[in-house]
Amino acid sequence: MSDSYFHAEEAVLRAPARRCYELVLAIRRYAQWWQRVQFEPLGPEATLRPGSRYRFTGAQLSGTMQVSGMKPWRRVDLHCIAGDLLGPLSWEFTQRGNSTVVRYAYRGVEPNSESLRRAFTAGRGLEVYSDMLQGDAFVGMRHVLEEGLDVSGGDVFEALLTLRSVRRFRPDALPDATLRAIIEAATHAPSARNAQPWYFLAVRDADVKRTIAALYLGAWQQAQRYTSEIDADADIKDRPDYPRMIRSVDVLATHLDSAPVIVLALLDTSQLGPMADGRGTILAPQSAYASIFPAVQNLMLAARGLGVGSTLTTVFSSVEAEMRAAVGIPPHVHIAALIPLGYPRRPFTVTTRKPVGGARTIVSIVPLRRSGGKN
């Protein structure tokens, strides 16, 4: 008698097959829609492709999956190559009008653990896992797709070209796995002497966020008064986008605690070597902050790749000492930046910036010359 198991679970989602397909490929986005099973990519890619591998743990199963084939917008073929289960599976997408039938099919998988063999022998097969698909995965997919949330897979150029300051956030919480992936990406940035002199404090507690927000609002109001007194924005206030930008900054300042997560990017002066003295005074600011702001940019790009919005702000600088004291940060650790994180209220689009080679952005490529030699 064969232990092979054939079964399929399906759901109808109000979304085009292409978006369903793209969501399934975006492996680093799985925590956004599949909460009770954890997935860990076994490579640097953000989007699955043939040969990609990932681990899964949950629903009383664990193992390693490999992508064995893809038919764009129609099907993703998988193969369990290690763990409790072995054999082929697939995601399948059939569009019907404005909706798509999404199927997760077991195509002859076999048990590879004693507990799973007992379940197969008792005729229960993968009932628990099937319950997870219907009650967790399909529910999460429906939320992401039908609410119009971003489903991109995190291509680096897409992230670069669509990264913008997000100051208005949806109330949806960030999954732990998503936040961890964002912070981990930040820590892969370069730093002077490779000292990695950073810490990232991710604040979710409502009371702590309110404390930070109150201090931030005071600093913003102080900055507004200063800007008005000396006309500090004279060089940009006539631009057509200036009023909207100021309104957006004001919304952030008055509602900072509504961001699901507030990240404080911290610079530890005790790890800066000759760039700081023993009292925590930074002696070489360019070098010191070059050891934290690449990590902040990594964090924001990783967030964008996972559909999460962010903005970098240093408005708090006038109340930095009070903010450090409020959250228990020692004096020798500077708050270099504050970055709110959350899913944006409006979709990402390609940003408009000065053109390369335009009147205000000059690009010059000069051939190198060897001293005393020919070109």
Tens-of-pLDDT digits for all 375 residues of the chain? 456 888 899 999 999 999 999 999 999 889 889 988 999 999 888 899 999 999 999 878 899 999 999 999 999 999 999 999 999 999 999 999 999 999 999 999 999 999 888 888 887 778 777 888 899 999 999 999 988 888 877 788 888 999 999 999 999 999 888 899 899 999 999 999 999 999 999 999 999 999 999 999 999 999 999 999 999 999 999 999 999 999 999 999 999 999 999 999 999 999 999 999 988 899 999 999 999 999 999 999 999 999 999 999 999 999 999 999 999 999 999 999 999 999 999 988 888 888 876 555 555 556 655 444 444
Cα(233)–Cα(44) distance, rounded to whole angstroms?
42
pLDDT at position 192: 93
First to last CA, the chain: 77
Does one domain contain both 141 and 167? no
Q: What CATH code is carried by the domain that includes residue 169? A: 3.40.109.10
DSSP one-letter code for 193: G
pLDDT at position 368: 52
Does one domain contain both 50 and 130? yes
pLDDT at position 371: 47
pLDDT at position 356: 78
Report if residue 350 sits inside a domain: no
Residue that is written with structure tokens 């006539």 in the block: 238
Q: Hey, is 116 helix, strand or coil?
A: helix
Tell which of 118, 146, 174 closes a domain.
146
Q: Which of 164, 189, 154 is nearest to 311 (CA)?
A: 164
Alpha-carbon torsion, ordered 161, 164, 168, 173, to 10 deg: 60
Does one domain contain both 48 and 196? no
pLDDT at position 375: 43
Does one domain contain both 137 and 208? no
The structural domain count of the chain equals 2
Does one domain contain both 162 and 111? no
Task: Give 50's contacts (C-beta < 8 A, 6+ positions apart).
Answer: 67, 68, 69, 70
Cα(39)–Cα(95) distance, rounded to whole angstroms?
27
Report if residue 254 sits inside a domain: yes
User: What's the sign of the alpha-carbon dihedral 349, 352, 355, 356?
Assistant: negative
Cβ burial of 343 (10 Å; 0-12, 13-18, 19+) is buried
Q: What CATH code is carried by the domain that includes residue 19? A: 3.30.530.20
Domain span at 46: 5-146
